[in-house]
C-alpha cells in the first residue's frame, strides 16, 4: 500500500478547498445515491440506528446543506447481481418513500417489484423464483420533495453514487451493465447499452475492489462446524424473516430463495415448520449459502475476480474516487516491561522445571546438582531473560494458539479454529465487534491461487479496517489508479479525468464501521461528518459527460 498520501481526510479537505478557489459552481439538484455495503439496511434499525450515521443522520446532514440524497435499501447479504437489479429498479421506479425533515420519520412503502432476469438459468443451483414483490422503495431526503415525486433515473436525471464497502462493487456491476447491456441476462433492465453516462461520479469508501480475506477468516474459524453454523444461521433467518416484509425490523430480502414464510397446501406454515424447512440439509439456507449467489462469495477474492471477468472496470464517462482505511497497530516485536513479573507468577518456577528435567536423566545426578546450585544462586532473574531472548512475542503466541488452544478446543469438541497472530493488532478504539476480525485478518495468508488472481504487485494484505483489506480499497486491479494529488483541478471537466480511480489516500483513524458513522467516538463522528460534507461539495462541482455514449457490444 502506497501511503505517501496517507491522510485521506486532509487530502479530501484540500481538494474541496482548491475546487472552491476555482469558483466552480455547485449543482446540488443532482441526487447523491448512497449505496450500502454488506449487511447494510435502509430504514433506521429499531427506528433509531441509521446505516449512514448510526445515531446521527448523514443524509439529513447533507440535506441541511442543500443537497438531495437517495438512500437505497438493497439486499444486505445478496449477490452483486441481485443488488444491481434492485438498485436499478429502485432508481427507475418513479416513486420514493420520503424522509420528513420536521418529524424525522420515514413513510416506508413496500410496493417495488424486482425482476432478476435470466442470470440463474444456466445454474443447477437457483432461487425458487426470479422475481420478488413488495420491496421497499428508495428513500428520498430533500427540501424540495415535490420536484422528485415522479423522478426517474435516466439520461436527463443523472446521479452521483457514494458507496460503502460492497456497495462499490454493486455499482461497478450496474454501470457495466448500463454501458454494455446484457439482453441475454436481463432484456427488461439491461437490454440496451450506452447508458453509463446516467452516472456522473462514483465514490467508494472501504470497498473490497479486489476482495477481502474476512471470508477466509470466517471459513477457517467455522471449518470444523459448517453444518452447525448453517443450522444456527437458518434459525436466525427464520426468526427475522417470519413476518411479512413490512413487519421485519431487518429484511434479508431473500424471499425469492424461499427464505421466508410460505404457503403449504393453501395455509401459511407455522414458525416451527418454517424453521425446520430452513434448517434441513437441502433447505433454502444451505442451498443459498453453498451457491456462489450470495454476498459471502461475492466479497471474497475469488468472487471479485469473477466480477472482473464479467464487467468493465470503469466507464470513460464517470469520475471515480476511492478512500482507504486501516484500524491496526503493528504486532509488538519486543517483550513488554512487565513480562518477567508476569512469568514469575507461572505455576512452575523455571528453576524447579530444569531441576526436575535434569534429575530425570540417568547418570547426570552429580552434574545436575552442580547446575541446580548455580541456578539457585541466580534464580529466575537470569533464566527468564535468556529464554525470552530466544523466542519472540509472536512466536510464543503462535505456539500458544496452534499447539495449545486449538488442540484443547478440538479435544473438548469445540469445532472452531482460533486464528494465528499476524503482523497487526487492533487499534484500541476499534469497535469491540471488530477486535477479533482485525486481529485475524492481520494474520490471514493468501493462498497461491489468490496470489495468482491478484497479480504480482500484491502489497500488504494484512493491513485492514476490520472487514476489508486496506490494499483492496484503492480500486479494481484491472483499472487505472492515481493519487488524488495529481487530480487536475483546473481542468476537471476534460475527458481524460474520467474513467480513472482517484485515490484520496489512507485514513488510519477509522475502522469499517467508523466509515459510515456507526458506533463511534464523538471525535471520530465529527471527522466522519466532515468527510461526507467535503465529498458532497467536490462531486457536486463535477459536470456530466457532454458526450452521449453509444452502446457497446457485449463481450
Task: Output 42 or 31, whichever has higher pLDDT.
Answer: 31
Task: From 76, 74, 186, select the one nearest 130 (Cα to Cα).
Answer: 186
pLDDT at 554: 38
The confidence band for 418, taking pLDDT boundaries of 50, 70 and 90, is: confident
Please report whether residue 513 resides in a domain: yes
Integer angstrom CA distances of residue 173 from 77, 84, 298, 534: 16, 7, 11, 26
CB hemisphere CA count around 485 (13 angstroms): 9
Domain carrying residue 224: 216-290
Give how far Cα 448 sits from Cα of 305, 419, 458, Å: 14, 19, 12
- Provide the β-strand partners of residue 506: 324
Instruction: For residue 346, give Cα distances in angstroms to 334, 343, 351, 384, 394.
Output: 20, 5, 12, 11, 19
Q: Are residues 475 and 406 in the same domain?
A: no
CB distance 153 to 174 below 8 Å: no
- What DSSP assignment string belongs to 204-247? EES--TT--THHHHHHHHTTT-HHHHHHHHHHHHHHHHSS-GGG
Are both 53 and 184 inside the same structural domain?
Answer: yes
- For the chain, how many structural domains are there in total? 3
Residue 538 has pLDDT above 80, yes or no: yes
* 202 and 306 together in one domain: yes
> How is residue 515 annotated by DSSP?
G
Question: Using one digit for the tens of pLDDT, what is the confidence trace for 191-250?
Answer: 999 999 999 999 999 999 999 999 999 988 887 677 888 899 999 999 999 999 999 999
Inside any domain, residue 427? no
417 and 486 co-located in one domain: no
- Looking at the fold, whether 205 and 227 belong to one and the same domain comes out as no
pLDDT, one tens digit per residue, over 280-316 is 988 999 999 989 999 999 999 999 999 999 999 999 9
Of the two residues 555 and 382, the one the predictor is more confident about is: 382
Average the pLDDT over 464-473 and give the result: 97
Q: What torsion, rounded to 10 degrees, do the Cα atoms 428, 433, 435, 437 define?
A: -150
Task: State the residue for C-alpha cell 422528485.
Answer: 148
DSSP letter for each residue of 136-172: EPPEEE-S-GGGGTT---SSSS-EEEEEETHHHHHHH
**Using alpha carbons only, what angle is made at residue 428 by residues 424 and 431, rounded to the nearest 5 degrees?**
100
Which of helix, strand or coil describes residue 321? strand
Residues 332-369 have pLDDT tens digits of: 877 777 666 666 676 666 566 666 666 666 655 555 56
What percent of the chain clears pLDDT 90, i.e. is strictly above it?
69
SS3 string, 195-215, reads: CHHHEEEEEEECCCCCCCCHH
Considering only CA atoms, which of 205, 164, 181, 156 is closest in space to residue 71?
A: 164
CATH number at residue 131: 3.40.50.1820
Cα–Cα dist 28/5, whole Å:
29
Decide if 205 contacts 78 (C-beta within 8 A): no
**459 and 372 part of one domain:** no
In a domain, 550, yes or no: no
Q: Quickly tell me which residue has 547418570 as its cell.
A: 363
| In a domain? residue 2 | no
Residue 226 neighbours by CB distance under 10 Å: 14
Q: How many Cβ atoms from other residues are within 10 Å of residue 118's Cβ?
A: 15
Residue 535 C-alpha cell reads as 465529498
What is the spatial distance between Cα 318 and Cα 410, in angstroms, rounded to a whole number?
A: 52
For residue 481, the Cα-to-chain-centroid distance in whole angstroms is: 20
> 208 with 234, same domain?
no
Strands 69-71 and 139-141, bridge-based pairing: antiparallel
pLDDT recorded at residue 372: 61
What distance in Å separates the CA atoms of residue 205 and residue 515, rounded to the nearest whole number? 7
End-to-end CA distance of the chain: 32
Is residue 380 very low, low, confident or very high in pLDDT (cuts 50, 70, 90)? Answer: low
Q: What is the DSSP letter of 379?
A: T
pLDDT digits (tens, 9 = 90+) for 114-126: 999 999 988 888 9
Question: In this structure, are strands 199-205 and 159-164 parallel, antiparallel, or unpaired?
Answer: parallel
Confidence of residue 373 (pLDDT cuts 50, 70, 90): low
- Clarify whether residues 106 and 12 are in a common domain: yes
Q: What is the pLDDT of residue 387?
A: 64
| Same domain membership, residue 224 and residue 209 | no
Inside any domain, residue 433: no
Q: Is residue 356 part of a domain?
A: yes
Query: Which pTM value belongs to this model?
Result: 0.90
282 three-class SS: coil
Please say whether the beta carbons of 466 and 513 come within 8 A: yes
Does residue 416 sit in the same domain as residue 513? no
In terms of domains, do 32 and 156 share one? yes
Domain C-terminal end among 392, 421, 450:
421
One domain for residues 46 and 195:
yes
- Alpha carbon distance 465, 1 (integer Å): 14
Tell me, yes or no, whether 429 lies in a domain: no
Model confidence band, residue 378 (pLDDT cutoffs 50, 70, 90): very low
Of 388, 421, 454, which closes a domain?
421
Q: What is the mean pLDDT of residues 4-19?
A: 87
Q: Could you tell me which residues come within 8 angstroms of residue 536 by beta carbon, excluding any fewer than 6 positions away?
A: 32, 62, 65, 67
Dist CA 541 CA 535 (whole Å): 10
Amino acid at each position: 500500500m502506497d501511503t505517501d498520501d496517507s491522510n485521506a481526510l486532509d487530502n479530501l479537505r484540500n481538494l474541496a478547498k482548491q475546487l472552491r478557489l476555482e469558483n466552480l459552481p455547485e449543482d446540488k439538484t443532482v441526487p447523491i445515491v448512497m449505496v450500502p455495503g454488506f449487511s447494510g439496511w435502509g430504514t433506521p434499525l429499531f427506528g433509531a440506528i441509521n446505516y449512514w450515521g448510526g445515531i446521527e443522520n448523514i443524509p439529513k446532514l447533507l440535506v441541511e446543506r442543500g443537497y438531495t440524497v437517495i438512500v437505497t435499501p438493497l439486499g444486505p447479504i445478496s449477490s452483486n447481481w441481485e443488488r444491481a437489479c434492485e438498485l436499478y429498479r429502485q432508481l427507475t421506479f418513479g416513486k420514493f418513500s420520503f424522509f420528513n425533515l420536521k418529524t424525522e420519520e420515514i413513510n416506508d412503502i413496500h410496493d417495488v417489484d424486482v425482476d432478476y432476469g435470466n442470470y440463474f438459468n444456466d445454474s443447477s443451483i437457483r432461487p425458487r423464483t426470479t422475481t420478488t414483490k413488495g420491496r421497499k422503495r428508495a428513500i428520498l431526503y430533500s427540501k424540495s420533495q415535490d420536484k422528485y415525486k415522479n423522478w426517474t433515473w435516466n439520461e436527463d436525471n443523472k446521479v452521483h453514487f457514494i458507496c460503502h464497502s460492497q456497495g462499490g462493487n454493486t455499482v461497478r456491476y450496474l454501470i457495466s451493465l448500463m454501458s454494455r447491456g446484457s439482453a441475454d441476462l436481463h432484456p427488461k433492465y439491461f437490454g440496451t447499452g450506452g447508458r453509463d453516462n446516467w452516472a456522473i461520479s462514483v465514490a467508494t469508501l472501504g470497498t473490497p475492489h479486489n476482495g477481502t480475506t474476512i471470508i477466509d477468516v470466517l471459513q477457517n474459524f467455522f471449518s470444523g462446524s459448517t453444518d452447525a453454523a448453517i443450522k444456527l444461521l437458518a434459525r436466525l433467518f427464520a426468526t427475522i424473516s417470519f413476518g411479512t416484509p413490512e413487519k421485519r425490523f431487518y429484511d434479508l430480502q431473500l424471499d425469492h430463495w424461499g427464505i421466508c414464510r410460505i404457503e403449504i397446501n393453501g395455509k401459511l406454515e407455522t414458525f416451527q415448520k418454517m424453521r425446520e424447512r430452513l434448517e434441513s440439509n437441502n433447505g433454502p439456507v444451505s442451498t443459498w449459502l453453498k451457491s456462489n449467489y450470495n454476498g459471502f462469495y461475492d466479497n471474497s477474492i475469488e468472487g471479485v475476480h469473477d466480477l472482473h471477468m464479467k464487467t468493465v472496470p470503469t466507464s470513460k464517462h464517470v469520475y471515480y474516487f476511492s478512500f482507504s482505511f486501516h484500524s491496526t497497530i503493528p504486532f509488538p516485536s519486543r517483550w513488554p516491561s512487565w513480562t518477567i513479573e508476569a512469568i514469575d507468577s507461572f505455576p512452575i518456577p523455571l528453576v524447579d522445571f530444569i531441576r526436575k528435567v535434569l534429575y530425570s536423566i540417568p547418570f547426570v545426578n552429580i552434574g545436575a546438582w552442580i547446575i541446580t546450585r548455580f541456578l539457585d544462586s541466580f534464580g529466575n532473574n537470569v533464566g527468564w531473560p535468556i529464554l525470552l531472548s530466544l523466542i519472540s512475542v509472536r512466536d510464543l503466541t503462535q505456539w500458544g494458539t496452534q499447539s495449545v488452544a486449538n488442540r484443547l478446543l478440538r479435544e473438548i469438541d469445540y469445532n472452531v479454529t482460533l486464528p494465528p497472530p499476524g503482523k497487526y493488532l487492533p487499534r484500541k478504539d476499534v469497535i469491540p465487534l471488530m477486535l477479533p476480525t482485525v486481529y485475524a485478518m492481520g494474520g490471514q495468508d493468501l493462498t497461491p491461487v489468490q496470489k495468482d488472481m491478484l497479480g504480482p504487485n500484491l502489497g500488504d494484505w494484512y493491513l485492514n479496517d476490520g472487514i476489508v483489506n486496506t490494499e483492496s480499497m484503492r480500486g479494481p486491479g484491472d483499472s487505472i489508479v492515481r493519487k488524488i494529488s495529481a487530480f487536475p483541478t483546473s481542468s476537471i471537466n476534460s475527458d481524460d479525468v474520467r474513467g480513472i480511480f482517484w485515490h484520496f489516500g489512507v485514513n488510519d483513524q477509522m475502522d469499517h464501521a467508523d466509515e459510515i458513522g456507526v458506533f463511534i467516538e464523538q471525535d471520530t463522528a465529527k471527522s466522519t461528518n466532515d468527510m461526507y460534507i467535503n465529498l458532497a461539495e467536490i462531486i457536486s462541482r463535477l459536470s456530466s459527460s457532454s458526450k452521449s455514449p453509444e452502446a457497446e457490444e457485449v463481450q
